[in-house]
Amino acid sequence: MKFTPPFTNVAALLIASAGMAYGNDPHAAAASSAHTAAPAVTPEAAVAKLMAGNARYASNSTSSGKPTGKARAANAQTQHPFAIVVGCADSRTSPEIVFDQNLGDLFVIRTAGNLVDDYALGSIEYAVAHLGTKLIVVLGHERCGAVKAAVASGSAPGHVGSIVSDIRPAVKAVEGTAGDLLENAVNENIYRVADKISRKAVLGDAASSVRIVRAVYDLDTGKVEWLK
């Protein structure tokens, strides 16, 4: 695995206050304050935890199991995930399994092609503002079906067409470059999604302390490669 320390800073913009987000409900506002008051895991420490977890997952043929009952009780009233993972909806790439984490550890957002729309951006903003999460991981994977569809054609039937349309610019950007087109397009799409988050996520005062990293998952080995 490779990890390059420099992160991408998230764009600094304003976010609605807890009062605006929760209306006039004092209980909800208090819960929000409790979330943000919890000690936050630094981006560097969060990456280290993910790397260690993925190493465990990739090297073990069977799961060692997790104390889910204990984790369920600990997270029943509150949550403090140490990382946000924007991943693909592919059934083989569940971040909690790939990174060997438990209930409450990861705030996961998944769509085909690990794309982000307004709903995904709002989810990221919530996790940063109200749960105190400092690391955002954009996680793609090899042989991604959504990217493969965008490589094959600029259109697709039904709502899949919207997915293909959003990924198609990444494909066009790497056409004619050395290497495998699908692999290059997968990586380019990861970079573009990370860039979109950095430009459009509204993170307010937390923006300077939040980092985005990019990674790609190997379906064959189970290892996550950290991209520059």
Instruction: For residue 72, tell me if it sits in a domain.
Output: no
Number of domain units in the chain? 1
138 domain residue, yes or no: yes
Per the domain annotation, does 70 fall within a domain?
A: no
- pLDDT tens for 157-176 read 999 999 999 999 999 999 99
The residue assigned the tokens 């997952």 is 57
Confidence of residue 54 (pLDDT cuts 50, 70, 90): very high
Which of the two residues, 122 and 62, has the higher pLDDT score? 122
Res 80 pLDDT > 90: yes
Q: Which of 46, 53, 224, 44 is nearest to 139 (CA)?
A: 224
Region 90-97: mean pLDDT is 98
Query: What is the C-alpha to C-alpha distance for residues 147 and 155, in angstroms, rounded to an integer?
Result: 12
1 in a structural domain? no
**95 located within any domain:** yes
Mean pLDDT of 32-59: 84
Name the residue range of residue 120's domain. 8-59+79-227
pLDDT higher than 70, residue 210: yes
Q: Which residue has the higher pLDDT, 225 or 32?
A: 225
CATH of the domain at 148: 3.40.1050.10
Task: Determine which helix (DSSP H) or strand (DSSP E) holds 9, and give its type and residue range.
Answer: strand 8-9
Q: What does the pLDDT read at residue 40? A: 85
Work out the pLDDT band at 38, boundaries 50, 70, 90. Answer: low
Cα–Cα distance for residue pair 124/141, rounded to 1 Å: 20
* 65 inside domain: no
Mean pLDDT over each residue of the chain, to the nearest integer: 87
* Residue at 209 is within a domain: yes
Residue 57's CB is within 10 A of a number of other CB atoms, namely 18
Mean pLDDT of 115-119: 98
Supply the pTM of this predicted model. 0.84
- Is the residue at 29 inside a domain? yes
In this predicted structure, what is the pLDDT of residue 37? Answer: 52
